[in-house]
């Protein structure tokens, strides 16, 4: 179940603004800190996210999310400063808002362009989720607290769809402050901390240690 067009349109600009502010706040030491994304520094994580949004608004959609494309995004931005990357994200975000203004409900529910397996709405929500989760990767690597705003709800929504695709469930994700998201038509309620669940479902935390019987959607 993808969030509504109105909710995503209202949420992702705020998420990208916060991401840009996080990037701008980093000094060289923080930039070169190893992240929890294997083989990537905090700066590499930022390069990927900025590259994602720049590629999307430029219509470069083929292979988005594949290891080859993500590595290309990182390498293209090697040597750029945090301020330069944040400015690039500001530009991409402004174009993305304009594009969203031209999307109606029919297009939102229609197929996504490129090779993304899902609706246009699902694809935009996936980008929203990606920005939230990677900002969390950066904060965790730097010892900063996690954010628990609207991006967390978008992440649970996206993961509900991905878990259904890999055959997990049926279940109903029911976390305080996030709402309920059925997987496989709905089933036993999965309760607890939404942020911890997101980490477990994305391989960032051992599900057993987290107390969730969930699979890693990337495994």
pLDDT in the model for residue 129: 98
Per-residue pLDDT reduced to its tens digit, 154-181: 999 999 999 999 999 999 999 999 999 9
- Same domain for 186 and 96: no
Residue 150 host element (H or E): helix 150-165
Q: Is 159 found in the same domain as 192?
A: yes
Together in a domain, 41 and 135: yes
Provide the mean pLDDT of the chain: 96
Q: How many CA atoms lie within 13 A of 202 on its CB side?
A: 22
Q: What is the CATH number of the domain that holds 195?
A: 3.30.1050
One domain, residues 214 and 180: yes
pLDDT score for 114:
84
Query: Residues 48, 58: one domain?
Result: yes
pLDDT computed for residue 41 by the predictor: 98
Exposure pattern of 66-80 as b/e (b: 16+ CB <10 Å)?
Answer: eeebbbbbbeebeeb
Upper half-sphere CA count for residue 172 (Cβ side, 13 Å) = 9
Q: Are 152 and 132 in contact (CB under 8 A)?
A: yes
Last residue of a domain, one of 120, 147, 174: 147
Q: pLDDT (tens digit, 9 = 90+) per residue, 177-198?
A: 999 999 999 999 999 999 999 9
SS3 81: coil
How many Å from the N-terminal Cα to the C-terminal Cα in the chain? 22
Query: Low-confidence residues of the chain, pLDDT below 70?
Result: none
Give residue 168's domain range: 149-219
CATH of residue 109:
1.20.120.450
Give me the number of domains the chain comprises.
2
Q: What is the pLDDT of residue 1?
A: 72
Q: Are residues 6 and 86 in the same domain?
A: yes
Nearest to 195 by CA among 161, 154, 165, 142: 154
Q: What is the pTM of this model?
A: 0.96
């Amino acid at each position: 179940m993808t969030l509504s067009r109105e909710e995503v349109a209202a949420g992702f600009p705020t998420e990208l603004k916060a991401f840009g502010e996080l990037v701008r706040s980093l000094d060289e030491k923080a930039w070169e800190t190893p992240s929890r994304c294997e083989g990537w520094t905090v700066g590499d994580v930022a390069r990927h996210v900025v590259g994602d949004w720049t590629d999307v608004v430029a219509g470069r959609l083929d292979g988005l999310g594949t290891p080859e494309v993500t590595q290309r995004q990182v390498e293209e931005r090697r040597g750029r400063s945090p301020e330069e990357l944040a400015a690039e994200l500001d530009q991409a975000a402004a174009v993305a808002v304009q594009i969203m203004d031209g999307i109606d409900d029919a297009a939102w529910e229609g197929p996504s362009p490129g090779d993304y397996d899902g609706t246009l709405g699902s694809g935009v929500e996936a980008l929203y989720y990606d920005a939230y989760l990677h900002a969390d990767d950066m904060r965790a690597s730097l010892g900063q607290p996690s954010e628990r705003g609207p991006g967390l709800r978008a992440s649970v929504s996206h993961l509900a769809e991905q878990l259904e695709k890999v055959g997990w469930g049926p279940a109903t994700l029911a976390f305080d402050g996030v709402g309920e998201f059925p997987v496989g038509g709905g089933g036993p309620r999965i309760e607890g901390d939404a942020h911890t669940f997101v980490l477990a479902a994305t391989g960032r935390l051992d599900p057993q240690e987290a107390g969730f019987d969930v699979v890693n959607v990337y495994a």
